Structure 1
Amino acid sequence: MANKYTNLCIAVTGLNANDNPGPGMAVIRSLKEYFGDGLRIIGLSYESLEPGIYLRDYVNKTYQVPYPTEGTAALVERLSYINQRENLDLIIPNFDSELFNFIKIAPQLKQMGIATYLPTQQQLTLRDKVHLKDFGTKHGFYVPADHKLYTADDLKKAVGEFNFPMVIKGKFYEAYVVYTMDQALKAFHQLNAAWGVPVIAQQYIKGNEINIAALGDGKGNNISLVAMRKLYITDKGKAWAGVTIKDDQLTQLANNFAHATNWKGGYEMEIMSTAEGHLYILEINPRFPAWVYLTAAAGQNQPAVLAKMALGEVVEPYADYQAGKLFVRYSWDHIADIADFQQISAFGEL
């Protein structure tokens, strides 16, 4: 199946696997499953304690890369160095905050012979939390009302409109359901410190939480689409267990989104299904979710298909997947040597 891809070398970010895991390890696991032992995985890390660095069965070598705030020139320089050593075929970035830079440098990467499969800058902006309500209004999607919070005083306006409970969200990550003004202020200051302004206050929608992982072809179609109902949610709102479900309404919603945006690449829709039967879009994440390995388990290996498309292969859209596939996330102590930690910390390579 995958033998024409011998000696494939793919770089992946998002190697953290804590209580708010990045998608990197799930992406790597999916790629390994499809492409087999001939695949070489290069980890791109930001911190010295991202677990993926030490999981040698999955990641062949890791290089530290500059933080997104350091800009594109530093990133290009570092990736050029890595490419000279590794001869990369493809990079799959997995963090919202790094996508702006990767999209910007994609033409330079292409000149180096490195493929990417990313949305455009315009697509990235369309679904931004700050613009999501306007996007929903324009295209006829249900999206909760929101307020942009630049100062603590802005919270009063939001409370006046939504009352409690409401959801306070960071610009890039994290969301808290708050029930009092004290909790709202605490969440605002915490998220402002972590991600900057605006912090977003969003109307609280009651219902069943459903996520869709999908892969858009950049021409208005989804090549793959798998829906999952959250069964267990952490205090950060992350799915710790979930089960694949099938529903024509969900399929239609994701297809409408792909059609409205011409989305290119992986994305995740976070949806609340209400008692009245409305599907509210809470967020659209511009990359694969951390639970993306479930797509492979259900019969649609989205990271592998993205890799094939990025490398120029024409891929037929998937027609079906298995409902009732369950995932349960768990913690596991991986033992490494302090020398490895010192090596990545001091030299930025392991």
Structure 2
Amino acid sequence: MEKPKFNIAVTGLNNTDNPGPGIPVIRGLKESKDFDVRIIGLAYENLEPGIYMRDLVDKTYQIPYPSSGKEAVLERIEYINSKENLDFIIPNLDAELYTFIQSKEKLEKMGIRTFLPSMQQFEERHKANLNEYGDKYGIKVPFSKSITNRRDIEELKEDFEYPLLVKGKFYDAYLAYTPEQVNTHFNKISAKWGLPVIIQEFIRGTEVNVIALGDGHGNTVGAVPMRKQYITDKGKAWGGITIQDNKMLDLTKSLIKQTKWRGGMELELIKTNQNEYFLIEINPRIPAWVYLAVAAGQNLPEAMIKLAFGMDVPNYSEYEVGKMFIRYSYDLIGDIAQFGSLSVTGEM
């Protein structure tokens, strides 16, 4: 019996020291034994490394930034679809998700499926809403407060002890030991990601993460916990190892059951010396370390496609403990003609 073949568009090809999830997602899809894929890369910049990985990305198109507006993005997707007959899109960056969640029906009319959280699921887990989220779902969270003005910084001493964390609404987190450092980080984050900027209580402990996939009905298709072993100056895991932690898994499954989460997610947690877990962030999409889960026995990108197309989906209950990943730098060699093609025509 011939395997089905899907044309799948994937974003997040920025596989640098602040890596996007696109390339590891593609690696998982390419390893499926139940379907074949043609990968269409969707890039924002013409130097995103994934564009030039010809063994992984079959064709690349440049797309406008989400800040250009939903209609501009959809118009470009419509053009790409006319050329590539897309079956599915996997957006891998937080800032894109508003557009793709809101455009679900329009994409389906084009014949393109997605498997994303609802707008309510996406909105309520924002860092700015974390206190309310913890109360609602019975999860410990660090105390957080949103600020929109530098004048608010002086008042932080009433609610926080230093050090504290300064976070952007989409990305970036910095530890600050003084109000002056908060001011510096506030300026940097607000210029890059806009307002509000989130101030969060600093919890001492070990950072641990869980990648998971929810089916949209309260069931956890798969979940793999990991401990970061090496962290870059951007706070990104450059090395990690799968761990056995039933408490983390129970917390994840409980959250997915209560929220009926649909799609991929990453829980970022702090495990204290008292064996307590504090949820510091929920990333509402597949994280960049997803290939560790694939290597440990849970191909979550493949399972997502199966869910979307009504194929038999494995109920992953096990994974290999002690599986490690280590990122590395590698020089991709391309040609100026490739760069020129993308710059002039918007495709390669």
Q: TM-score by structure 1 length?
A: 0.97
Give the Cα–Cα distance (whole angstroms) in 2 for the partners of residues 159 and 21 of structure 1: 35
Gaps of 5+ in 1: none
Q: Compare 222-231 and 76-85 and name the one that shifted more.
A: 76-85
What SS class does the counterpart of residue 78 from structure 2 fall into? helix
Deviation, 1:182, is: 2.0
Which residue of structure 2 aligns with residue 199 of structure 1?
197
The residue matched to 1:294 in structure 2 has which SS?
helix
Q: Alignment partner of 1:9: what SS?
A: strand
Determine the structure 1 residue equivalent to 2:42. 44
Please list every run of at least 4 consecutive aligned residues from structure 1 whose deviation after the TM superposition is greater than 6 angstroms: none
1:296 maps to which of 266, 271, 294: 294
Match of 2:126 in 1: 128
The CA RMSD measured in Å over matched residues stands at 1.4
2:285 counterpart residue number: 287
Tell me by how many angstroms 1:303 deviates: 0.5
SS of 2:127 mapped into structure 1: coil
- List per-residue Cα deviations over 1:145-198 (Å, max 9, x = no partner): 011110112122223322211110011001011122222111110000000000
How far did residue 316 of structure 1 move?
A: 3.7
Amino acid at match of 1:172: F
What letter corresponds to residue 173 of structure 1 in structure 2?
Answer: Y
State the shift of 1:36 in Å.
8.5
Deviation string, structure 1 residues 5-64 (Cα, Å, up to 9, x no partner): 2x3211000000111111001101111111599421000011111111111111000001
Pick closer, same or farther for the CA change 1:3–1:208 going to 2, 3 Å.
Answer: farther
**Residue 105 of structure 1 aligns with which residue?**
103
Match of 1:245 in 2: 243
Which of 259, 262, 278 is 2:260 aligned to? Answer: 262
Distance in 2 between the 1:231 and 1:270 partners?
14
User: Aligned-pair distance for 1:260?
Assistant: 2.0
- Match of 1:168, SS? strand
Structure 1 residues 37 and 247, CA gap change in structure 2 (3 angstroms): closer
Separation (CA, whole Å) in 1 of partners of 2:158 and 2:60? 49
Aligned to 1:90: 88
What residue identity is the alignment partner of 1:95? L
| Contact 2:6-2:35 at 8 Å conserved across structures | no
Q: Indicate yes or no: 2:19 matched with 1:4.
A: no
- 148-157 vs 190-199, which moves further: 148-157
User: In structure 2, what is the equivalent of residue 274 of structure 1?
Assistant: 272
* Mapped partners of 2:55, 2:318: distance in 1: 31
Q: Distance in 1 between matches of 2:67 and 2:2?
A: 39
Cα separation, 1, equivalents of 2:264 and 2:40: 20
In 1, distance between residues paired with 2:35 and 2:132? 46
Give the fraction of aligned pairs with identical amino acids, expressed as a percent. 50
Where 1:131 maps in the other structure, the secondary structure is helix
TM-score (norm 2): 0.97
Q: Name whichever of 253-262 and 158-167 sits farther off.
A: 158-167
Give the total of aligned pairs. Answer: 348
2:143 to 124, 142, 145: 145
Is 2:332 the partner of 1:347?
A: no
The structural deviation recorded for 1:225 is 0.2
Tell me, in whole angstroms, the C-alpha distance in 2 between the residues paired with 1:115 and 1:144: 36
Which residue of structure 1 lines up, in the alignment, with residue 22 of structure 2?
Answer: 24
